Chains A and B, each alone.
Chain A
Amino acid sequence: MLLLAVPLLTGTGLIVVGRRFSRYAAAWVALTAAALTAGAAGVVAWQRPTVDAAWLPEVGVRLRLGVDGISIPLVLLTAVIGVLVTALATGYVPGGGSPGTYAGCLLLVEGGALATFVAGDALLFFVAFELVLVPMWVLITRFGDPHDARARADAGQRFVLYTGAGSTLMLAGILLLVTWAGTSDLSALVAAGAGLPVGRQLTVALLLTVGLAVKVPVWPLHTWLPSAHTAAPTGGSVLLAAILLKMGTYGLIRLPFSVVPEGFVRISPWLAIAGGLGILWGSLVCLVERDLKRLIAYSSVAHMGFVIIAMASNTEAGLQAALIGNLAHGVISALLFVVVGGLKERWGSVDLDRSWPALREVAPHRGFALILGLAAALGLPGLAGFWGEFLAVLAAWHPADPMRIVVFRTVAVLAAVGGVLAAGYCLRVARLLWAGDAPTETSAAADAKGGARLDAAAGAGLDSETAAPLDSEAGEGLDSETVAPLDVETRGAERFVAGVLALLIITLGVAPWLVLDITHPAVLALLGGLP
């Protein structure tokens, strides 16, 4: 399928021959490839073609590709995000290697994610799942945060080892399942898996869920995510949050949820509890976290908690909530990482304990994007985040399994409390960055000076050209408390990317049925397999 061939081949090509490419050439080649892929994704979503060819007969694997209601939104999301991250690369490529390698790795991650979403065979799914590991690792360790090589290497290694362990556990589960069920075709597995004895279903479900939970990540297994996000370059963070995490939830729906339903039902209360704890844990950390990228990473843990409890409720509403929550989180976190990553690239740090100039004044566009992202993250109605969280809590309140209603209602309450905490941390970030309330007194003097100049500059309606000398003058201050450059407004590609994402957030928030209608038949079909 063209959908996969374009990003994978171009990505490989860019890595192999791309070292001689200039930044622009590499980024534009990548952007063209991503745009072609997006076109192909549109066609695929519309026509729903399938591919079926022999691949690894030794274990009965066929190269079976196809899409359904569950994967189409994710395929489209991946394609759009792919275009956006490569568009970002036309404006800024982090150092640490050739631009060709950077763009190539972005495309490889995109291609691997697409392959995961269209794989129609359990083992092929696993192979595609593994495909993204090395390019993502390269993105983190080579192109990540230039300030701290050790942290970068540590984050990259943690990412690879955690997800490697998770996916190998998943492989053990898949192989066990395939051996017992006698097929690895995902559509045939739905019938074959449901026919297995409960004990076997439970074993398979446990292996698969634990393996995939690392990727999602579900609460106790989430520790790789914050460091990976902190160290990764903006494009990498966006891919990680918007696409890689979705591969985990998609896998959970595709494998344990639909294939071994009875086993999954038995572990779903535990999963729901882990999800609820993840929401609380993530939100509480967010209230005190200093590094903004880490903060957003923890908020991802919280949001994925909502998706997990929605899924664990085993209801139609829950599954719909999981799917739209998944999608919404992809768009919201992408926007937040674009905004914050851009800030970090310019300021060198996004430590919330230092005082930063108020974004609403120095960079109104970026500030607006930040506020929109935060508002969506706290689940404001009318924005994308609302539907996932609202439906998730609703679904947990009425779980499919009436025996465990106490557990699920407790979790629902936990989740609701987490939602309130989310409002707390989102407003905290907004207060510190957007409104510019200085949290400490240490830099009050510098602030007063900078602020006065700033007010003058803003009042006169002057642009960055006049603000620039101010930077250099103020920059001669203390080493640890250097005043940040004020020119942090989104430009060119970055503004375009943020705009598209903001538009998507609003569209999803106002018209969630666009997605829900696509997923609904597939959800009903899936739940038909449940007892």
Chain B
Amino acid sequence: MITLNWWALAPALIPAAGLILVLVLDALLPGRRRLPLAVGVLALLGAAASAVPGAIGSADTPARTLCLPASSGTGATGGECFWQAGPLSSTLQLSLLLATLAALLMMRDTRGPAAPEATSRGSETAIDVTLLLGSAAGGVAVAAAHDLGTWLVALELATLPVIALVARRGTRRAGHGSLSLLVTSLLSFALLVVGVALWLVATGDPTWSGAAVATAWADPARRAVLLVAVLALLAGIGFKLSAVPFHAWTPPAFAGAPLPVTALLAAASKIAAVAALVAMLTPFVGLAASGTHPHVLAFALGTLAVASMLVGTVVALRAGDIVRLLAWSTIAQGGWVLLPLIGLSTAGLRACAGYVMTYAAASLLAFAALSAVRRTASGEPGAVRELAAYRGLARSDPHVGGPLLLAMVTFAGLPPGILGLATKVVALASVIGAGLWPLAVVAVIAVVLGIAAYLRVVAVLLADPEPARAGRVVLAGGGTLWVLAAGTALLVVAGFVPQVLYGLT
């Protein structure tokens, strides 16, 4: 008999329930715009609140549920739980839910009366909210899934709704972006399925179990299979994390999607990918701690990290379209997210989680700011793409340009973006702590290139606003303002007390 603890499942169940409620309400009361939005906001807030106890809980007693009885005696799976949410998972869930909420708030503004798009009908909103909630439920489930099947399905559940969201705008660019995203996702899914299958062959265990991995690793024949499995999984997740060389979909998808969806892709999807990666790597952390370091895995992670950091930053240095610039910056930041994992230590996992959360907050801030800048008062949000059009934004409209500036310095890891600096320090510390300081030297180059790339934007934001002022209108809706205010407060406060960020994980 499987045990069931509803409370532990609540972070995933509440968005799922909200999703159904939205669909039912839309069927009963069609054409209402506010209702699905309200349900979506409440569902995400409720789910986030239910993830808080897990996030501040102790690492020794994770919330476990869906457990097989220990005495069932089916070999290694006896007593295994299919749902395990320690503080690290719960914090990732929490940040993922909040990131989705931010995207929803931004979506409210772009679909709202501020943008007189013909498509802003009620059921359209309901569809958007449904897709968002579905993706959130998937992402939350990935973070806690302890068995391969749930993990795989949840990861796809987190991804597929986003493809639909990208495609829904119906423009040519959106079609292009969603197509590249779809192809990538299929490829990634195929790789993941192969990886999961090989993992099952190698370990004979359908869960992310440390003990099973250790036994498989000890046997040379099974070790080879396990390695292939891990590399396939890594490649599959590499697509989701847009790590070089699996990054090609990112710029077209970012540029093609409406900005709230881009923000979702940049923030929530990345958190989900990191959650998936953490689940996969946790058994290997135990392995590395017991003295057998899986060098091939570390090498693969290192290659991805270094290539992403360098390629992403160098291209960002030259990009003229600000959304593409942020897309390449996302690729570079993906490398930074991978960097602390190379050491395969618990500290590395936490450093990675801390980095991805900081990155996600800064990304949301940046995209929220971009979505407030329009060509004309009635123009399409986020249509102003060329960097030059943002000249002097921080001076003419500090409530929008200031957060954008803060996001840039956080990405660059320069004070006043102290949180960006602190997370970079922690990431580097875990690399150097693992004795891999040549990698740290590469990271130094990446930091310097990154400073050049991001300060280029900062310089534009601080320039004399007059020449570009006529070409833009800054119009931030209520939801976007909330995102801007909350994100800025988060980055500033957490910058002074970064232990909050790491205390949670």
Chain A residues with a Cβ under 8 A of chain B: 12, 16, 19, 54-59, 96-98, 112, 123, 126-127, 130-131, 133-134, 137-138, 141-142, 153, 156-157, 160-161, 164-165, 168-169, 171-172, 175-176, 178-179
30 residue pairs A–B, Cβ–Cβ below 8 Å: A55-B497, A55-B498, A55-B499, A56-B426, A58-B350, A58-B351, A58-B502, A59-B425, A127-B415, A127-B421, A127-B425, A130-B414, A130-B415, A133-B414, A134-B414, A134-B416, A142-B462, A160-B455, A161-B451, A161-B452, A164-B448, A164-B451, A165-B444, A168-B443, A171-B428, A172-B443, A175-B429, A175-B432, A179-B429, A179-B432
Given contacts A58-B499, A168-B444, whether A133 and B415 have CB atoms under 8 Å apart is yes
- Interchain CA distance A19-B392 in the complex, whole Å: 13
Task: Please determine whether B448 and A165 come into contact, CB atoms closer than 8 angstroms.
Answer: yes
CB < 8 Å neighbour of A179 from B433, B462, B497: B433
Query: For the complex, is B181 an interface residue (Cβ under 8 Å from A)?
Result: no
From B395, B414, B455, B499, A57 is in contact (CB under 8 Å) with: B499
Residues of chain B contacted by A137 (CB below 8 angstroms): 455
The answer to whether A157 touches B409, judged by C-beta atoms less than 8 angstroms apart, is: no
Inter-chain CA distance A502–B447, complex, in Å, is: 41
Q: Does B38 sit within 8 A of A, measured CB to CB?
A: no
Given A58-B502, A172-B432, A178-B429: A127 in contact with B418 (beta carbons within 8 A):
yes
B131 to chain A, nearest CB (A): 36
Q: How far is the CA of A157 from the CA of B449 in the complex (A)?
A: 11
Which of B350, B351, B437, B459 is A172 in contact with, Cβ under 8 Å? B437
- Scan residues 296-339 of chain B and give those whose CB is less than 8 A from a CB of chain A: none
Q: How far is the CA of A142 from the CA of B461 in the complex (A)?
A: 11
Q: Which residues of A contact B426 (CB under 8 A)?
A: 56, 58-59
Residue from B418, B433, B451 within 8 A of A160 (CB atoms):
B451
B437 proximity list for chain A (CB < 8 A): 172, 176
How many Å lie between the Cα of A157 and that of B317 in the bound state?
A: 13
B347 contacts chain A at the CB level, 8 A cutoff: yes
Kindly state the separation between the CA atoms of A176 and B459 in the bound complex, as whole angstroms.
33
Which residue in chain B gives the minimum CB-CB distance to A12? Answer: B416
B248 surroundings in chain A (CB, below 8 A): none
Q: Contacting B444 at CB < 8 Å: which of A127, A130, A172? A: A172
B502 A168 Cβ-Cβ under 8 A: no
Q: Please give 17 more A-B residue pairs, beta carbons under 8 A apart, in addition to A126-B425, A156-B459, A168-B447.
A: A56-B499, A57-B499, A57-B502, A57-B503, A58-B354, A130-B414, A141-B459, A164-B448, A171-B444, A172-B428, A172-B437, A172-B440, A175-B428, A175-B433, A179-B429, A179-B432, A179-B433
In the complex, residue of chain A having the shortest beta-carbon distance to the beta carbon of B409: A134
Q: Which of A58, A161, A169, A175 has the most CB of B within 10 A?
A: A58
**Roughly how many angstroms separate A54 CA and B414 CA in the complex, as a whole number?**
21
A130 to B464, CA, bound (A): 26
A398 to chain B, nearest CB (A): 37
**Given A57-B503, A127-B415, A172 and B441 contact (CB-CB distance below 8 Å):** yes
Query: How far is A123 from B432 in the complex, measured between Cα atoms in Å?
Result: 14
Taken together as a complex, chains A and B put the C-alpha atoms of A165 and B498 apart, in Å, by: 24
Q: Is the CB of B440 within 8 A of A19?
A: no
B113 at the interface (CB under 8 A from A): no
**B448 interface neighbour in A98, A168, A179, Cβ under 8 Å:** A168
Closest residue of chain B to A59, judged by CB? B429
| Interface presence of B245 (CB below 8 A) | no
Kindly identify which residue among A16, A134, A142, A164 contacts B447, using a CB–CB cutoff of 8 Å.
Answer: A164
B453-474 residues with Cβ-Cβ distance < 8 A to A are 455, 458-459, 462, 464
Is B422 in contact with chain A by the CB < 8 A criterion? yes
* B398 on the A face (CB < 8 A): yes
Q: Is the interface of B mostly helix, strand, loop or mixed?
A: helix
- Contact between B499 and A54 (Cβ–Cβ < 8 Å)? yes
Partner of A127, one of B395, B422, B448: B422
Give the distance in Å from the alpha carbon of A59 to the alpha carbon of B426 in the complex: 6
Please state if B398 and A19 are interface contacts (CB–CB under 8 Å).
yes
Contact A56 B498, beta carbon cutoff 8 Å: yes
The 5 closest A-B pairs by CB, nearest first: A58-B502, A131-B415, A175-B432, A168-B444, A59-B429
Docked-complex contact B425 and A19, CB < 8 angstroms: no
Most buried by B among A98, A157, A175: A175
Q: Within the assembled complex, what's the spacing in Å between the Cα atoms of A222 and B452?
A: 19
Known: A134-B415, A165-B444, A165-B448. A97 touches B395 (CB 8 A): yes
Q: How far is the CB of A115 from chain B (nearest CB, A)?
A: 10
| A19→B397 CA distance, assembly (Å) | 11
Whole-angstrom distance between the Cβ of B456 and the nearest chain A Cβ: 9
Question: Least Cβ distance of A93 to chain B in Å?
Answer: 16
Q: Which of A16, A165, A175 contacts B440 (CB 8 A)?
A: A175
| Closest CB in chain B relative to A314 CB, distance in Å | 27
Interface centre among B414, B429, B441, B443 (most CB of A within 10 A): B429
Residues in A whose Cβ lies below 8 Å from that of B448: 161, 164-165, 168
Q: Are B347 and A58 in touch, CB under 8 angstroms? A: yes
A202 to B402: give the CA distance in the assembly, Å.
43
Residue from A58, A130, A169 in contact with B421 in the complex, judged by beta carbons closer than 8 Å: A130
A59 to chain B: which residues have CB within 8 Å? 425-426, 429
- A175 contacts B425, C-beta separation under 8 Å: yes
Distance, CA A137 to CA B395, complexed state (A)? 16
Minimal beta-carbon separation of A35 from chain B (angstroms): 24
- Please measure, in the bound complex, the distance between the C-alpha atom of A337 and the C-alpha atom of B415, giving whole angstroms: 27
State the Cβ distance, B348 to closest chain A Cβ, in Å: 11
Q: Which chain A residue has the least Cβ–Cβ distance from B439?
A: A172
Give A161 to B402 CA distance when docked, in angstroms. 23
Contacts of A161 in B (CB 8 A): 448, 451-452
Expressed in whole angstroms, the Cα–Cα distance for A497 and B402 within the complex equals: 34
Shortest distance from the beta carbon of B493 to any chain A beta carbon, whole Å: 13
Residue on A nearest B434 in the bound complex, by CB: A179
Chain A neighbourhood of B402, CB < 8 A: 16
**Distance in Å from the Cβ of B460 to the closest Cβ of chain A?**
11
Name the distance in Å between B362's Cβ and chain A's nearest Cβ.
15
Minimum CB–CB distance from B277 to chain A (whole Å) comes to 19
List, in ascending order, chain A residues with CB within 8 A of B459's CB. Answer: 141, 153, 156
Partner of A56, one of B416, B452, B458, B502: B502
**Nearest CB of chain B from residue A323's CB, rounded to whole Å:** 27
A134: chain B residues within 8 A (beta carbon): 409, 414-416, 458
Q: Give CA–CA (A379, B398) in the complex, Å.
A: 49
Cβ contacts under 8 Å, B499 to chain A: 54-58
Residues in B whose Cβ lies below 8 Å from that of A164? 414, 447-448, 451
Say whether A19 contacts B395, CB under 8 Å: yes
Chain A residue nearest in CB terms to B495: A127
| Most B-side CB within 10 Å, residue of A56, A112, A126, A157 | A56
How far in angstroms is the closest Cβ of chain A from B314?
14
| A172 contact set on B, CB distance < 8 A | 428, 432, 437, 440-441, 443-444
Residues of B within 8 A of A54 (CB): 499
- Nearest Cβ in chain B — how far from A60, in angstroms? 9
B418 and chain A: residue at smallest CB distance: A127
Chain A positions within 8 Å of B350 at CB level: 58
Alpha-carbon separation in the docked complex, A492 to B313 (Å): 48
A123 to B425, CA, bound (A): 8
Q: Which residues of A sit under 8 angstroms from B440, Cβ to Cβ?
A: 172, 175-176
Instruction: Give CA–CA (A90, B354) in the complex, Å.
Output: 43
Q: In whole angstroms, what is the CA distance A523 to B254 when docked?
A: 57
Q: Note all chain A residues with C-beta closer than 8 A to B458.
A: 134
Cβ–Cβ < 8 Å partners of A141 in chain B: 459, 462
In the complex, chain A residues whose CB is within 8 Å of the CB of B416? 12, 131, 134
Please, which residues of chain A bring their CB within 8 A of the CB of B498?
Answer: 55-56, 58
Of the residues A58, A112, A160, A165, contact of B415 by C-beta under 8 Å: A112
Q: How far is the CB of B113 from chain A (nearest CB, A)?
A: 31
> How far, in angstroms, from A141 to B455 measured CA to CA in the complex?
11
Distance from B369 Cβ to chain A, minimum over Cβ atoms (Å): 16
Query: A169 near B444 (CB under 8 angstroms)?
Result: yes
Contacts of A126 in B (CB 8 A): 425
Q: With the chains together, A142 CA to B428 CA distance in Å? A: 32
In Å, the complex CA distance between A172 and B339 comes to 14
Contacts of B443 in A (CB 8 A): 168, 172
